[in-house]
Structure 1
Amino acid sequence: MGGHALGKDLEAVAAEARAALAREIDASGAWAEDPVWREAFETVPRHVFVPYYYVGIVGGHERLWGESADAGARERWLRGAYADTPLATRLRDGELVSSSSQPSLMALMLTELRVADGHRVLEIGTGTGYNAALLAHRLGDDSLVTSVDLDPEITESARRHLSAAGHRPVVVTGDGARGVPARAPFERIIATCGLPSIPPAWLVQCRPEGRILSPLATGLVVLTVRDATHAEGRFLHTPAYFVPLRGGARHRPERASLGAVPRRGREHELFRFLLALTGGTLDPLEAYALWEGEGRPQRERYGVTVADGRGWAWLDEPEGPYLWPLP
């Protein structure tokens, strides 16, 4: 449903809700380093990319959609589309397979990507197409943006949404772990789905001094590419939870029982980040001793190095003493 299909009253509601969302993101400080993103969020209509979405209710989900016969339900859908929350956009057998990320987190990620005029950007995980539209708007040239997703239903609907919003970036159906070699090289690569490690193909497709931003474990890592075989960088401060990438790379299941770990560790978000990052290579009690001994490190003290086809996570220094192989 394109923005043109809204009645006059709902168009006014959409404009007001978009402005309110921009103020909320502004207050969060997400784009403080690059306020140019404010204009993109104020302009690109998120509701066009979420013609329907699901909200949790007791015992399941309720679908809100813009074509509802009930005017109140349509307005609720529209206002919800501009809430600073993630929106569940596709469920399969009750499991979330695609979502539209929380706008303030998207703003933070786009700001940290440090996009400049003329940059070619690859997005891994097309989702609704909203993030690709924000990138296309910011760059002022749709042809600079390439987005890839494994699911042909997702890429097809994203193309429709993008077209309705007036954008035509290149949307490719394929395995995001392989990148899009035909469109390389890129100055920037951004992933909007969770991964267990950084695929080597991304380094090959990124220019030296390029930047890769990806969810990993329950955080966001930003790597600077040195060359086709080496990239390194640290995590941002923020937690981030994303739908896993479908395709070649799979998450390792977290098998270890946390029963022996003191409750303050089991329930602490930063301890769970360490467990997710080390992917079961550390015994939970060892991990807890390390975590307490190192002063319960914040995410920014951790980093990732990818070199010669191998990847590893580290605390404080890439050379160790604390290193963990990534799958």
Structure 2
Amino acid sequence: MSAQALDKDLDDLAAAARAALVREIDASGAWADDPVWREAFAAVPRHLFVPYYYVGVAGGYERRWGQSPDAAARERWVRGAYADTPLATRLRDGELLSSSSQPSLMAMMLVALEVADGDRVLEIGAGTGYNAALLAHRLGDDDLVTTVDLEPEITEAARQHLAAAGHHPAVVTGDGARGVPERAPFDRIIATCALPSIPRAWLAQCRAGARILTPLATGLVALTVRDAEHAEGRFLHTPAYFVPLRGGGGTSPLERGRELGGRAEREPAHVGGLPRGAREHELFRFLLALTRGSLDPQEAYALWEREGQPQRERYGITVSGEHEWAWLDDPEGPYAWALPG
């Protein structure tokens, strides 16, 4: 079979797999509130953004890549590229540096970002470039999208992937915690990496009324920016585990041990005396992550039980000047915990 025929077979397989992924996300209801994203996921070819990736196997990772000489291996690569799972894309000494997030989670986050026509969007964590391509397709103007990552090798690869897919947003190499002031002001900021707190630089680069969506403490918080000194918002209902931001934003000890897309893999310190049901409960572990440094696990457990094992939507974040805190139910209520500034 000729190389052209092989390419056509892979293209056909990719198209069919992409359509199946769109149907799967559709059935999940992820974009029910903003179905315009369905067309973006149907149009943007994810496999162009993951020319290779790693899957977990006994004892480590197995590399899958699109240029494998083995036809069956190439087929596995294409099918895996369109699975509704996160994909590890860069490793260093066994540590995960970058990934392509689970597509249904990406869809949910993009809907929650509440993008409108003409919005200028900053993405923190370029990854493979796939998310930036989805944003560029949705907005219909590459210049409205900026994506930043600390590692030059990541941004260069993202730039190449985006070009292969026909998009040319601004791809910047730098510390995401510092934003991209030369491309400001922004109407939306979305982070695809975990942070311990909200960088003040982001607020300063936002227009009044802008929306920030970022992973924090194994959840996703959506903030409305009032001005350069003030922002506030609540967590979404869904759990979310992301690779930590590298650079000035720092890395929280709890997040450093997490695996891509995983569930509470690392036992927090000093929880041995708590009931096993609480230790393993995803919402309690969220509370532990959110109050780390402010509450010890016994205090967190007492609060969690007293308040009826609260869902994520009852928690929020407030940024006011030099102060930043997490809270339960009410920003000025009795349950508030300082975040690292």
Same fold (TM over 0.5): yes
> In the alignment, is the contact (CA less than 8 A) between 1:65 and 1:77 conserved in 2?
yes
| Superposed displacement of residue 253, structure 1 | 2.3
In structure 2, the CA distance between the partners of 1:5 and 1:281, relative to structure 1 (3 Å rule), is: farther
CA distance in structure 2 between the partners assigned to 1:204 and 1:80 by the alignment = 40
| Superposed displacement of residue 309, structure 1 | 2.7
**Matched letter for residue 50 of structure 1:** V
> In the alignment, is the contact (CA less than 8 A) between 1:314 and 1:322 conserved in 2?
yes
> In the alignment, is the contact (CA less than 8 A) between 1:196 and 1:249 conserved in 2?
yes
In the other structure, the counterpart of 2:244 is 244
In the other structure, the counterpart of 1:288 is 301
CA distance in structure 2 between the partners assigned to 1:82 and 1:252 by the alignment = 31
Aligned counterpart for 1:258 among listed residues 271, 274, 277 = 271
> In the alignment, is the contact (CA less than 8 A) between 2:186 and 2:210 conserved in 1?
yes
Aligned positions of 1:48-127 closer than 5 A: 48-127=48-127
In the other structure, the counterpart of 2:261 is none
1:7 counterpart SS class: helix
CA distance in structure 1 between the partners assigned to 2:195 and 2:96 by the alignment = 16
In the other structure, the counterpart of 1:272 is 285
CA distance in structure 1 between the partners assigned to 2:276 and 2:315 by the alignment = 23
Q: If the length of structure 2 is used for normalisation, what is the TM-score?
A: 0.93
| Superposed displacement of residue 261, structure 1 | 1.1
CA distance in structure 2 between the partners assigned to 1:228 and 1:284 by the alignment = 34
CA distance in structure 2 between the partners assigned to 1:126 and 1:154 by the alignment = 7
CA distance in structure 1 between the partners assigned to 2:20 and 2:120 by the alignment = 30
CA distance in structure 2 between the partners assigned to 1:97 and 1:89 by the alignment = 8
Give a deviation string over 1:171-196, Cα, whole Å, max 9, x none. 00000000000000000000000000
CA distance in structure 1 between the partners assigned to 2:192 and 2:247 by the alignment = 14
CA distance in structure 2 between the partners assigned to 1:60 and 1:187 by the alignment = 41
2:277 counterpart SS class: helix
> In the alignment, is the contact (CA less than 8 A) between 2:121 and 2:145 conserved in 1?
yes
2:17 counterpart SS class: helix
| Superposed displacement of residue 93, structure 1 | 0.2
CA distance in structure 1 between the partners assigned to 2:145 and 2:207 by the alignment = 15
**Matched letter for residue 81 of structure 2:** A
In the other structure, the counterpart of 2:145 is 145
CA distance in structure 2 between the partners assigned to 1:256 and 1:68 by the alignment = 44
Give a deviation string over 1:87-131, Cα, whole Å, max 9, x none. 000010011110000000000000000101100000000000000
Give a deviation string over 1:26-70, Cα, whole Å, max 9, x none. 111111100000000000000000000000111111000000000
**Matched letter for residue 178 of structure 1:** R
CA distance in structure 1 between the partners assigned to 2:248 and 2:227 by the alignment = 23
**Matched letter for residue 283 of structure 2:** L
Question: Which deviates the most, 244-253 or 205-214?
Answer: 244-253
| Superposed displacement of residue 298, structure 1 | 0.6
CA distance in structure 1 between the partners assigned to 2:221 and 2:82 by the alignment = 27
CA RMSD of aligned residues (A): 1.2
After the TM superposition, list the runs of 4 or more consecutive aligned residues in structure 1 that deviate by more than 3 angstroms. Answer: none
In structure 2, the CA distance between the partners of 1:38 and 1:5, relative to structure 1 (3 Å rule), is: farther
Q: If the length of structure 1 is used for normalisation, what is the TM-score?
A: 0.97
Q: How many residues align?
A: 324
CA distance in structure 1 between the partners assigned to 2:153 and 2:315 by the alignment = 36
In structure 2, the CA distance between the partners of 1:14 and 1:252, relative to structure 1 (3 Å rule), is: closer
> In the alignment, is the contact (CA less than 8 A) between 2:88 and 2:96 conserved in 1?
yes
CA distance in structure 1 between the partners assigned to 2:176 and 2:252 by the alignment = 18
CA distance in structure 2 between the partners assigned to 1:184 and 1:213 by the alignment = 17
> In the alignment, is the contact (CA less than 8 A) between 1:252 and 1:279 conserved in 2?
no
In the other structure, the counterpart of 2:313 is 300
CA distance in structure 2 between the partners assigned to 1:220 and 1:5 by the alignment = 44
CA distance in structure 1 between the partners assigned to 2:224 and 2:100 by the alignment = 26
In the other structure, the counterpart of 2:233 is 233
* Percent of residue pairs bearing the same amino acid type: 78
